[in-house]
A and B are shown apart, each in its own frame.
Chain A
Amino acid sequence: KQEVTQIPAALSVPEGENLVLNCSFTDSAIYNLQWFRQDPGKGLTSLLLIQSSQREQTSGRLNASLDKSSGRSTLYIAASQPGDSATYLCAVRPQNSGGSNYKLTFGKGTLLTVNP
């Protein structure tokens, strides 16, 4: 059974700092990995999706990397801002999951606080 772990559970940094959030998974047979952001009391917003054949994806100040063989992904946030404060979740899609129907396995998230 796939298990996804995110460490640390919470992280507090000063504004302007570069930071890395970690995600590890136990079964390397994945199709892709997706990073989400969740603001308090809100739904999940997709940030980046990395296919199993890719090493990284970038969007603005965000860069996500994937090392499938070691079961790890990182989300790098450059020049953090107070508006980046949120919970960040990663989720993996199983390898043998063609088509549109597939079940993601989620980590429990990292609560990020960026202090002004």
Chain B
Amino acid sequence: NAGVTQTPKFQVLKTGQSMTLQCAQDMNHNSMYWYRQDPGMGLRLIYYSASEGTTDKGEVPNGYNVSRLNKREFSLRLESAAPSQTSVYFCASSSDASVRGYTFGSGTRLTVV
């Protein structure tokens, strides 16, 4: 099925470890986004990419880096994981067609111990 695919679905890290969350979309969307979702905080934008080769900071970028490898893929990297980064991470994409809005992936549940 067409959509946004995230890997892995679950991950446990030790404090200080690094990892990359992968996201790919096959809808030919130009823009992609990374959000984190925490209880009581709602969805918060970490980074976004308007097009291949461009990235911008969102509301909570500290401790993260991103890479827009090509039009399909947008990865999120934690260089040195901290317990405060325990969260559920969602990738999303959007197109020029205003009738479609955002499409979300199924999420990555990350625990940092």
Q: Which residues of A contact B (CB under 8 A)?
A: 31-32, 34, 36, 41-46, 49, 51, 89, 91, 93, 99-104, 106-109
Choose one: B102, B103, B106; the contact of A91 (CB below 8 Å). Answer: B102
Q: Which residues of B contact A (CB under 8 A)?
A: 29-31, 33, 40-43, 45, 48, 50-51, 58, 90, 92, 94-96, 98-107, 109
**28 A-B residue contacts at CB 8 Å?**
A31-B98, A32-B98, A34-B101, A41-B109, A42-B106, A43-B90, A43-B104, A44-B92, A45-B104, A51-B99, A89-B43, A91-B102, A93-B101, A99-B30, A99-B50, A99-B96, A100-B29, A100-B30, A100-B94, A100-B95, A101-B48, A101-B50, A101-B51, A102-B94, A103-B48, A103-B58, A108-B41, A108-B42
Given A91-B102, A101-B30, check contact A106 B42 (CB 8 Å): yes
Chain B nearest CB from A3 CB (Å) reads: 11
Chain B nearest CB from A35 CB (Å) reads: 10
Please indicate the chain B residues that have their CB under 8 angstroms from the CB of A102 in the complex.
31, 94
Chain B nearest CB from A14 CB (Å) reads: 27
Question: A46 vs B41: C-alpha distance in the bound complex, in angstroms?
Answer: 20
Chain A nearest CB from B68 CB (Å) reads: 12
Question: A93 vs B29: C-alpha distance in the bound complex, in angstroms?
Answer: 17
Question: A108 vs B92: C-alpha distance in the bound complex, in angstroms?
Answer: 17
Given A43-B107, A100-B95, check contact A34 B102 (CB 8 Å): yes
Identity of the chain B residue whose Cβ is nearest the Cβ of A46 in the assembled complex: B101
Other A-B pairs beyond A44-B90, A51-B99, 8, CB < 8 Å:
A31-B98, A42-B106, A43-B106, A44-B92, A45-B104, A91-B102, A100-B50, A103-B58
Are B101 and A107 in contact, CB atoms less than 8 angstroms apart? no
Question: A106 vs B94: C-alpha distance in the bound complex, in angstroms?
Answer: 15
Question: A101 vs B48: C-alpha distance in the bound complex, in angstroms?
Answer: 9
Please indicate the chain A residues that have their CB under 8 angstroms from the CB of B58 in the complex.
103
Q: Which 5 A-B pairs have the closest CB atoms?
A: A101-B50, A100-B30, A108-B42, A43-B106, A44-B104
Given A101-B31, A101-B50, check contact A49 B100 (CB 8 Å): yes
Question: A99 vs B50: C-alpha distance in the bound complex, in angstroms?
Answer: 9
